[in-house]
Chain A
Amino acid sequence: MSTSDYDPACLPDLLPLYYRRLFPFSQYYRWLSYGGVSKNYFQNREFSFTLKDDIYVRYQSFTTQNELEKEMQKMVPYKIDIGAVYSHRPSQHNAVKSGTFQALEKELVFDIDMTDYDDVRRCCSAADICSKCWTLMTIAIRILDRALREDFGFHHLLWVYSGRRGVHCWVCDDAARKLSVAARSAVAEYLSLVKGGEETVRKVVLSDPIHPFINHSLSVVERYFQQYAIVDQDILGSKESVDKVLAVLSPLCRQMKSFTREGSSVSYDLHFSCVSVKSNSKKGGQYFDKEIMLQYCYPRLDVNVSKGVNHLLKSPFSVHPKTGRISVPIDLKELDTFDPFEVPTISLICEELEKPRAEEAEEDDMKDKENEQEAGERRRIRDYKRTSLAKYVKVFDRFLEAMARSRKGEMLKKSDLQKDF
């Protein structure tokens, strides 16, 4: 059992242990330094911490990995957010002439939150999630990942489980980090299909011609729709829910034949034998089956999160104080089997830490006595490897490797070009 009975009251005891022995500082630092290509990239990065008793501090910055570690171990943050890379060290922003302290770069980020789907999920609401609605996240990740890679040409995407009810995406390409506010907002809007708040019943409107992006997204939704919507969410299971589906169409249809289930197998062929729709043929009326699928399944993202260069977002590997779960990277190769309830909690991994050590560990311990810091790091590497956190750090490692390879490729390309002169 992964939960291991997490109790928020234990955080004050577990967090120090986590930051001392488990948090993957060296990979974290490696990530945010981006190969040291830009000077002071790490030093000018803003972090914000939420400490005990909800004390919130912004504009934290650190000069070295060591300083980051020491400070985190000292302050023991309950929540960690990552912000932008600024023109100066955030911790010294008050000393800078007003107007010159500016956010320069940041990863392009996306936040998919299950609460935004409350109007179309029947199993849960608000902060709750279950295996039935988790499919929505799977669909969201597949659609957005494809679009960001194939349409926008991005390569280095880190998908992270938020710890409770959603997922985040960090697009870390050079080009992505340099995007302007306008560009970020344009990307987010390109990716948005579900529009409207409480007041809008029909949230997806399709018209000719259907853009290739929409077609790609539809094929993903179609793959999951039968199992997700018809079986798990059972959207045709009661009169009430069928009515809800029909309500989306009601402006288009004056008469609807009532939809019936045929025996035990449900036909979800949404081509209603609805004469009035075909003959009225109002603009957009012919895609209502696609519109319904999209309204029930297409990713809903918060444009405001993606727009701002200085927006702060929860850091990977931070702990979610309410659930205790670690915000872990998601391996897209195993996406269909990802289970948010199997994600390790801080109590679990701290418990796993206490288990008796293997013999090799003791030998290494002796070697470590010579070099303190290296020892600390090696011990930490050994430590997380003994816990359920290990496989997630591996995903992170692979992500970092890919970026490093790509940076190397870029440098070779550049030096080749120069030689050509």
Chain B
Amino acid sequence: MQFPGRRKKVIGSSQNDLYDHCLQFYGQPPLENISLTEFETFAVERLKLLKSVENIGVSYVKNSEQYVKKLDAEFSSLNFPLRTELGDRRVQGGTSEYEKRRKDHISHFILRLAYCQTEDLRRWFIQQEMDLFRYRFGELTSKHKTDFLHKNNLKYETVSAEEKKSLKDKLITSSYGLSGITVEEYDFYKVPFQDALDLVRTRKVYLLAGNAYIPHHEIVTIVLNDFRTRLSKALAMTARSLPAVQSDERLQPLLSHLSHAYVGQDYSIQKNMGKISLEQIDALSGKSFPLCMRHLHKALRENHHLRHGGRMQYGLFLKGIGLTLDQALQFWRSEFVKGKVDADKFDKAYAYSVRHMFGKEGKRTDYTPYSCMKVILSNPPSQGDYHGCPFRHSDPELLKQKLQNYKVSPSGINQLLPMLAEILELVKGMHYQLACQKYFELTHNVEDAGFSLNHPNQYFTESQKLLGGGLEIKKEVDMSQRSQENPANMTRPSQANSKQAHEEMGDLDSFFQDE
């Protein structure tokens, strides 16, 4: 893989061939020289774009009308390719479509360098690029979709008319919005189920003998799967070539700043170790724990046990608020021993997993407390589980009851009912984190939480700050002013590591702090 800005390379084919489609699979890296300024600018602008993709994806249902409108606006303001025709018409003093596509191409590859290094970074990058791709593919006309498939050699086997006829009833009932007529008219593709996992997972497609029968309009899911696989492989390869790039002092500070600025604080560095005593936990759970952790704590106290999912979610949260390993061991043991587990069994079976959480066993990874995204999206609870996000995973009726019981400050009673209604509305709209923020406002009796919630430990920290708790919590670079206008905005640069680069990149920072 060649890195722009380092070597002289022959400029590729003529303008028109290179970027003749507004969408691309990023199969070929760019082969030209660019200036360092362009390198920086492109990278930062794409990063802003991906960040918007993430935020807008949290505030609106993906691919809904508002979602699309918002993203369209971002695209225009950041000068990324929007139109499908490559006309070289220049908007007054603006950039041509060709230039936008070139930027799209180059900026993607630059960000690969910044985001290939760790599993978390890769996952984030792939997720946003996929959402971006899905949005852009969805905006193409049918003809352009087919064009795209042909250009990129994505050949999927079509289902014959006879087969469609014999499976007609099954096909109609497997996808939403199909009728006998549409099944006859539209193309269906037969792909191995492994290539259509998203459709299989949600049972949106007919499966027979290991093949998924995909209606034409769902083809985007298959393409996305392909996209994800390719990108994943490419990132792994990029990671291997990275040392060569990092040795270039012009690029290294930029790349490192890029990847640190956007993962948000992960609470892996415990600043408050040992500042909490075990006796405080019960009280704290009522005052400063988010609902999910309060729920878990209560279940633990009542049943003297938690299953694996609950132990992980709650245990890591406790680590994040400052429990030391010894405290954690004591905490879990004393509770489990009250139940069916004797001290011996605890030491043999459960102590290991507590130590594992603190990075003292096995791979010795110091696991990070789960963010809201992780709690909401992965590992839904089943029978006997208490983990997950109550706003996402509880029945709205039960949630309502629970909220009423978990009471609020006495003066809040009058606001209780309308607030509850607001919370339930947010839950219906799938804005679980916003609902939790409202819960924060309700329980702390404030008008505005003053931050945008994306991590249970953040909830705790903010709550303690508000209540003037006895913990010294170092203040991060404060982005919370912005959050009031834009509640879905989720950035908090992490401290220490980027501080150095931070100073060197004075100018660059202004990119991250505006809006």
Contact assessment for B383 and A212 in the assembled complex, using a CB-CB cutoff below 8 Å: no
Is A185 interfacial (CB 8 A cutoff)?
Answer: yes
Docked Cα-Cα span, A265 to B174, in Å, equals 37
Q: List the one stretch of A5-13, A112-120, A272-280, A385-393 in contact with chain B.
A: A112-120
Q: Which of A117, A119, A194, A209 contacts B172, CB < 8 Å?
A: A209
Chain B 384-407 near chain A by CB (<8 Å), digits 1 or 0: 111010100111011100000000
Q: Which of B345, B384, B386, B395 contacts A116, CB < 8 Å?
A: B384
B residues 76-116 near A (Cβ < 8 Å) are none
Contact assessment for B210 and A197 in the assembled complex, using a CB-CB cutoff below 8 Å: no
Docked Cα-Cα span, A190 to B390, in Å, equals 24
Contact assessment for A202 and B383 in the assembled complex, using a CB-CB cutoff below 8 Å: no
Q: Inside 8 A of A195's CB, which chain B residues have their CB?
A: 380, 382
Contact assessment for A209 and B209 in the assembled complex, using a CB-CB cutoff below 8 Å: no
Q: Inside 8 A of B390's CB, which chain A residues have their CB?
A: 199
Q: List the one stretch of A16-24, A83-91, A145-153, A368-376 in contact with chain B.
A: A145-153
Contact assessment for B398 and A201 in the assembled complex, using a CB-CB cutoff below 8 Å: yes
Is A304 interfacial (CB 8 A cutoff)?
Answer: yes
Q: How far in angstroms is the closest Cβ of chain A from B355?
A: 14
Residue of B174, B193, B202, B388 ringed by the most chain A CB atoms within 10 A: B193
Known contacts A186-B201, A198-B384, A199-B395, A153 near B174 by CB under 8 Å: no
Is A200 interfacial (CB 8 A cutoff)?
Answer: yes
Contact assessment for B174 and A198 in the assembled complex, using a CB-CB cutoff below 8 Å: no
Q: Inside 8 A of B202's CB, which chain A residues have their CB?
A: 189
Chain A 309-353 near chain B by CB (<8 Å), digits 1 or 0: 000000000000000000000000000000000000000000000
Is B467 interfacial (CB 8 A cutoff)?
Answer: no
Contact assessment for A118 and B383 in the assembled complex, using a CB-CB cutoff below 8 Å: yes
Is A1 interfacial (CB 8 A cutoff)?
Answer: no
Is A237 interfacial (CB 8 A cutoff)?
Answer: no
Contact assessment for A189 and B201 in the assembled complex, using a CB-CB cutoff below 8 Å: yes
Is B170 interfacial (CB 8 A cutoff)?
Answer: yes
Contact assessment for A212 and B173 in the assembled complex, using a CB-CB cutoff below 8 Å: yes
Contact assessment for B393 and A199 in the assembled complex, using a CB-CB cutoff below 8 Å: yes
Is B242 interfacial (CB 8 A cutoff)?
Answer: no
Contact assessment for B398 and A212 in the assembled complex, using a CB-CB cutoff below 8 Å: no
Contact assessment for A152 and B203 in the assembled complex, using a CB-CB cutoff below 8 Å: no
Docked Cα-Cα span, A179 to B385, in Å, equals 27
Contact assessment for B210 and A182 in the assembled complex, using a CB-CB cutoff below 8 Å: no
Chain B 328-368 near chain A by CB (<8 Å), digits 1 or 0: 00000000000000000100110000000000000000000
Q: Which of A56, A190, A202, A211 contacts B395, CB < 8 Å?
A: A202
Contact assessment for A199 and B210 in the assembled complex, using a CB-CB cutoff below 8 Å: no
Contact assessment for B194 and A116 in the assembled complex, using a CB-CB cutoff below 8 Å: no
Known contacts A209-B172, A209-B174, A197 near B209 by CB under 8 Å: no
Contact assessment for A251 and B210 in the assembled complex, using a CB-CB cutoff below 8 Å: no
Docked Cα-Cα span, A288 to B386, in Å, equals 26
Is B121 interfacial (CB 8 A cutoff)?
Answer: no
Docked Cα-Cα span, A419 to B208, in Å, equals 31
Docked Cα-Cα span, A56 to B350, in Å, equals 13
Chain B: which residue is nearest A188 at the CB level? Answer: B201
B residues 403-432 near A (Cβ < 8 Å) are none
Is B200 interfacial (CB 8 A cutoff)?
Answer: yes
Known contacts A185-B201, A201-B395, A116 near B382 by CB under 8 Å: yes
Docked Cα-Cα span, A152 to B309, in Å, equals 29
Is B264 interfacial (CB 8 A cutoff)?
Answer: no
Residue of B173, B208, B349, B398 ringed by the most chain A CB atoms within 10 A: B173
B residues 31-63 near A (Cβ < 8 Å) are none
Is A213 interfacial (CB 8 A cutoff)?
Answer: yes
Is A134 interfacial (CB 8 A cutoff)?
Answer: no
Contact assessment for A300 and B395 in the assembled complex, using a CB-CB cutoff below 8 Å: no
Contact assessment for A152 and B207 in the assembled complex, using a CB-CB cutoff below 8 Å: yes
Q: Inside 8 A of A118's CB, which chain B residues have their CB?
A: 383-384
Is A69 interfacial (CB 8 A cutoff)?
Answer: no
Docked Cα-Cα span, A199 to B386, in Å, equals 8
Docked Cα-Cα span, A153 to B207, in Å, equals 9
Q: Inside 8 A of B197's CB, which chain A residues have their CB?
A: 182-183, 186
Q: Inside 8 A of B440's CB, which chain A residues have their CB?
A: none
Contact assessment for A212 and B379 in the assembled complex, using a CB-CB cutoff below 8 Å: no
Is B469 interfacial (CB 8 A cutoff)?
Answer: no
Contact assessment for A119 and B383 in the assembled complex, using a CB-CB cutoff below 8 Å: yes
Residue of B203, B379, B382, B398 ringed by the most chain A CB atoms within 10 A: B382
Is A95 interfacial (CB 8 A cutoff)?
Answer: no
**Size bracket of the A interface:** 35 or more
Known contacts A189-B201, A190-B203, A209-B174, A200 near B210 by CB under 8 Å: no
Q: Inside 8 A of A54's CB, which chain B residues have their CB?
A: 345, 348-349
Contact assessment for B385 and A197 in the assembled complex, using a CB-CB cutoff below 8 Å: yes
B residues 153-201 near A (Cβ < 8 Å) are 170, 172-176, 193-194, 197-198, 200-201
Known contacts A150-B209, A199-B394, A186 near B200 by CB under 8 Å: yes
Docked Cα-Cα span, A304 to B312, in Å, equals 14
Is B495 interfacial (CB 8 A cutoff)?
Answer: no
Q: Which of B198, B210, B385 contacts A198, CB < 8 Å?
A: B385
Docked Cα-Cα span, A175 to B211, in Å, equals 13
Residue of A115, A183, A198, A251 ringed by the most chain B CB atoms within 10 A: A198
Docked Cα-Cα span, A117 to B385, in Å, equals 13
Known contacts A195-B380, A197-B388, A300-B383, A152 near B170 by CB under 8 Å: no
Contact assessment for A190 and B398 in the assembled complex, using a CB-CB cutoff below 8 Å: no
Q: Inside 8 A of B193's CB, which chain A residues have their CB?
A: 152-153, 183, 186
Q: How far in angstroms is the closest Cβ of chain B from A399?
A: 20
Q: How far in angstroms is the closest Cβ of chain A from B94?
A: 41
Q: Inside 8 A of A189's CB, which chain B residues have their CB?
A: 201-202
Known contacts A152-B193, A154-B210, A198-B383, A212 near B174 by CB under 8 Å: yes
Q: Inside 8 A of B399's CB, which chain A residues have their CB?
A: 199
Q: Inside 8 A of A196's CB, which chain B residues have their CB?
A: 380-383, 393, 395
Is B314 interfacial (CB 8 A cutoff)?
Answer: no
Known contacts A150-B208, A209-B176, A198 near B170 by CB under 8 Å: no
Is A253 interfacial (CB 8 A cutoff)?
Answer: no
Q: How far in angstroms is the closest Cβ of chain A from B129?
A: 17
Q: Inside 8 A of A115's CB, which chain B residues have their CB?
A: 384
Docked Cα-Cα span, A187 to B175, in Å, equals 17
Is B206 interfacial (CB 8 A cutoff)?
Answer: yes
Is A417 interfacial (CB 8 A cutoff)?
Answer: no
Q: Inside 8 A of A366's CB, which chain B residues have their CB?
A: none
Residue of A189, A210, A211, A251 ringed by the most chain B CB atoms within 10 A: A211
Is A243 interfacial (CB 8 A cutoff)?
Answer: no
Q: Inside 8 A of B174's CB, which chain A residues have their CB?
A: 209, 211-212
Residue of B172, B207, B348, B379 ringed by the most chain A CB atoms within 10 A: B207
A residues 156-205 near B (Cβ < 8 Å) are 175, 179-180, 182-183, 185-187, 189-190, 194-202
Is A302 interfacial (CB 8 A cutoff)?
Answer: yes
Contact assessment for B383 and A213 in the assembled complex, using a CB-CB cutoff below 8 Å: no
Docked Cα-Cα span, A195 to B172, in Å, equals 25
Chain A: which residue is nearest B307 at the CB level? Answer: A197
Q: How far in angstroms is the closest Cβ of chain B from A214?
A: 8
Chain A: which residue is nearest B195 at the CB level? Answer: A183
Docked Cα-Cα span, A56 to B211, in Å, equals 41
Q: How far in angstroms is the closest Cβ of chain A from B408?
A: 20
Chain B: which residue is nearest A202 at the CB level? Answer: B395
Q: Inside 8 A of B382's CB, which chain A residues have their CB?
A: 116, 194-197, 300, 302
Cross-chain pairs A/B with CB under 8 angstroms, 9 sampled: A54-B349, A151-B208, A152-B193, A183-B194, A190-B201, A196-B381, A199-B395, A200-B398, A214-B203
Residues of B within 8 A of A (CB): 170, 172-176, 193-194, 197-198, 200-203, 206-211, 308-309, 345, 348-349, 379-386, 388, 390, 393-395, 397-399
CB-CB nearest 9 A-B residue pairs: A153-B210, A197-B381, A186-B201, A151-B207, A199-B394, A153-B209, A186-B197, A197-B385, A209-B173
Q: A153-B211, A175-B210, A194-B382 are in contact. List 20 more A-B contacts (CB 8 A).
A: A116-B382, A151-B209, A180-B194, A190-B200, A195-B380, A195-B382, A196-B382, A196-B395, A197-B383, A197-B393, A198-B386, A199-B395, A200-B393, A201-B395, A209-B176, A211-B206, A214-B203, A251-B395, A304-B308, A304-B379
